[in-house]
Amino acid sequence: MRFPDALAFALQVIRRQRFRTAMVMLALIIGVSAVNLLTGLGEGARRYVVGEFSSLGKNTLIVLPGKTETKGGMPPLVGEAPRDLTLGDGLALLRIPGMQSVAPLIIGMAELSSGGRVRDSLILGSTSEFFRIRQLKVKLGKALPDQDWDLAAPVAVIGTQLKKELFGTSSALGKWVRADQRRFRVIGILESKGVALGHNLDEVMLIPIASAQTLFNQAGLFRIFADVMHERQIPAVRQRMLEVVKARHDGVEDITVITQDSVLAGFNRILRLLTVAVGGIAAISLGVAGVLIMNIMLISVSQRTSEIGLLKALGATQSTIRNLFLGEALLLALLGAFAGTVISELLLALGRLSFESMPLQTPLWARLASVSLALGTAVIFAWIPSVRASRLAPVEALGSGQGV
């Protein structure tokens, strides 16, 4: 039997038995879409996180107070340190050869008020360098002044959302914002950037580092961001940073210096594993689809016993009949996998439209895996029914059921 004829024969069956075809295709569509959608979500989350951290810049190092003793794994996001990280530490880091800029950071919450409107907000205390390292831009006015770190100027740069909530549509530049017992004059408004590194920068107020120290009555820094001049200097500078701070902290190495790479590698690995895991769970539904295929093919074989007998009487060999049934299952699987892929791509495209920040996309490996799993499942589960069909004794097959 020629291949196109076998294909046409299988297509005939598929076209005539619409309900059966619809059931098998539905099962496969669900299975394939489940794999594609879930891995697409996982991949989207991974890319989102990676994108967030990439905004740090390749040359950025982050200094955290406290030390993780274990090698590898995630760096401590909340550190407990016996000694504070101070502005003096930051200035000492700035003197390391190869260091381009250093920005200290203090974070706190405060109740902000202006003209009767009150709102709790996140306050970031830092310096003008922070804008450059975190790639922040001001939409209106100017950034924090480039001045000595210990000068507690009463000025602030606020996010767009915060500006809207405190000042409405009226101009905010030059107005005063009260934070607890202190007042800050608004000198700039940030360009909207959305959520980055867990903070919605549209809702924060940036003030000079010394002002934050007095506002929160706290000398210790939350972080120090440090930019090196060239990416290749990172290992040497990192080593030097540890030594410098150790010398300043009575010979105890009590800080952690992380790079974008280490953070990314950690998240990347976890989220990739997660994606594979949910994809694997979704693949179970393909197995279930396989059981359905087997049942439906078994029913088909028993319904078409007399046809099988006839084909044998006309000289079809066992392998011809087996291949006809296998081909039919394979064709169904191919159609189902194709439809499932198209549907999941459409849903993900819809998801991308609704959540612009999430780059939802099924990774290539998952697309290939879902389709080949569907085909593989079809062949494996259709094998037994097909072989059963091919082994039917022609006499009994012809005897059963009345032909037309």
Partner 1 sequence: MVLASGLRPDSESRPDSESRSAPVVRLSQLNRYFQLGDQTVKALDGVDLVIETGDYLSVMGPSGSGKSTLLNVLGLLDRPTSGDYFLNGRLTTGLSESELAHHRQIAIGFVFQSYHLIPRLSARGNMELPLVLAGWSPAQRRQRVDEMLDRLQLSARADHLPRQLSGGQRQRVAIGRAVMLKPSILLADEPTGNLDTHSGAEVVRILEELNQEGITLVVVTHDQALGARAARQLRMVDGRIVMDQRVDSGAT
> Which residues here bind partner 1, judged by CB under 8 A?
1-2, 5, 9, 12-13, 16, 306-307, 309-320, 393-395, 398, 402-404
Can you tell me whether residue 145 is helix, strand or coil? Answer: coil
Nearest approach, Cβ of residue 294 and partner 1 (Å) = 23
Q: Which is nearer to partner 1, 5 or 120 (CB)?
A: 5
Q: Minimum Å distance from CB 318 to partner 1?
A: 6
Closer residue to partner 1 in complex, CB, 9/338: 9
Q: Min. distance of Cβ 397 from partner 1 in angstroms?
A: 9
In the numeric block, which tokens belong to residue 279?
Answer: 């994809």
Question: Is residue 191 a contact partner of residue 139, using CB atoms and an 8 Å limit?
Answer: yes
Q: Which residues contact 277 (CB under 8 A, 6 or more apart)?
A: none
In terms of CB distance, is 239 or 319 closer to partner 1?
A: 319
CA distance readout (Å), 213 to 104, 121, 150, 180, 395: 11, 16, 9, 13, 95
Closer to partner 1 by CB, 10 or 186: give it: 10
Closest distance between partner 1 and the C-beta of residue 297, in Å? Answer: 17
- Least distance to partner 1 from the beta carbon of 303, Å? 11
Pairing of strands 204-208, 117-126: parallel
- The residue (of 245 and 311) whose beta carbon lies closer to partner 1 is 311
CB of 2 to partner 1, least distance (A): 5
- Least distance in Å: CB of 323 to partner 1? 12
CB closer to partner 1 out of 54 and 319 = 319
Q: Could you give the count of Cα atoms lying within 13 Å of 379 in the half-sphere of its Cβ?
A: 7
**Which letter, b or e, does each residue of 339-362 get, where b requires 16 or more Cβ atoms within 10 Å of its Cβ?**
bbbebbbeebeebbeeeeebbbbb
- From the CB of 304, what's the least distance to partner 1, in Å? 9
Closest to partner 1 by CB, 172 vs 321, is 321
How far is the CA of 57 from the CAs of 54, 100, 105, 345, in angstroms?
A: 6, 13, 17, 32
Comparing CA positions, the residue from 252, 245, 196 lying closest to residue 224 is: 245
Query: What does R_g of the chain's alpha carbons equal in angstroms?
Result: 33
Nearer CB in complex with partner 1: 13/326:
13
Kindly state the smallest distance separating residue 53's Cβ from partner 1, in Å: 59
- Which CB, 54 or 400, lies closer to partner 1? 400
User: What is the enclosing helix (H) or strand (E) of 138?
Assistant: strand 138-141
The Cα 331–Cα 50 span in angstroms is 40
> Cβ-count burial of 293 within 10 angstroms (0-12 exposed, 13-18 middle, 19+ buried)?
buried
Instruction: Scan for tokens 């996001």, then name that residue.
Output: 77
Nearer to partner 1, 247 or 395 (CB): 395
Is 386 exposed, middle or buried, given 0-12, 13-18 or 19+ CB atoms closer than 10 A?
buried
For 193: left if phi > 0, alpha if psi spans -120 to 50, otherwise beta; the answer is alpha
Q: Which tokens sit at 74? A: 């995630």
As measured in angstroms, the least distance from the Cβ of 291 to partner 1 is: 26
